[in-house]
Amino acid sequence: MKMLLVFAVLFAVSCSHDPMKQSQRKPDSSRLILAADLQQWGPEAFLLALRDNCCGGVMVQAGDISFWGAPEIAILEKFVNDKTPAAPIVQPISSVSCHGSRYASTVGREARHLILAIKKKTYPLALCSTYDLELTP
């Protein structure tokens, strides 16, 4: 009887894992975002998801984003003056969670952070996107 229960639980768990559903999830604070996720979503969708998931930190693993270039920068430039609150980016190795008003960010700040990251071909550039001293608040 125990073995039957174990098999039933294992079957239920394996059936509940749907790789397509996982790949369609949008960025939020519940999981680690990888460069492959960024490439799939595109910069505008990612930026708007940061706006929609305001204001907790969204965890992004640092990685190569050389797949983005001038066309993506052109898309992001229309957001650089947007003062709408947005979730800041935090790297998993950061000792700070980037939550709360002290770490508040905006769509414009995150757009500028992405533009600079695209130029440097790596994202994110800092442990927390609100730490970036090259960008104005």
pLDDT tens by residue, 33-45? 888 899 999 999 9
Residue 17 lies in a domain: no
Q: Where are the alpha helices (DSSP H) in 17-106?
A: 19-24, 35-41, 43-52, 70-77
% of the chain beyond a pLDDT of 90 = 36
How far CA 119 is from CA of 34, 42, 67, 115, in Å, comes to 18, 16, 11, 6
Residue 89 lies in a domain: yes
Residue 120 lies in a domain: yes
Torsion of CA 51, 53, 58, 63, to 10 degrees: -50
Residue 108 lies in a domain: yes
Q: What 8-state DSSP symbol labels residue 101?
A: G
pLDDT at 118: 95
Mean pLDDT computed over 26-53? 82
In 3D space, the residue among 67, 70, 117 whose CA is nearest the CA of residue 89 turns out to be: 117
- Count of domains forming the chain: 1
Q: Is the pLDDT of residue 14 over 70?
A: no
- Look up residue 136 and give its amino acid: T
What does pTM read for this prediction? 0.72
- CA 21-61-42 angle, to 5 degrees, is 55
In 3D space, the residue among 22, 93, 28, 24 whose CA is nearest the CA of residue 63 turns out to be: 93
Residue 137 lies in a domain: no
pLDDT at 6: 36
Residue 32 lies in a domain: yes
Residue 125 lies in a domain: yes
Q: Which range marks the domain in which residue 42 is found?
A: 27-131
Residue 58 lies in a domain: yes
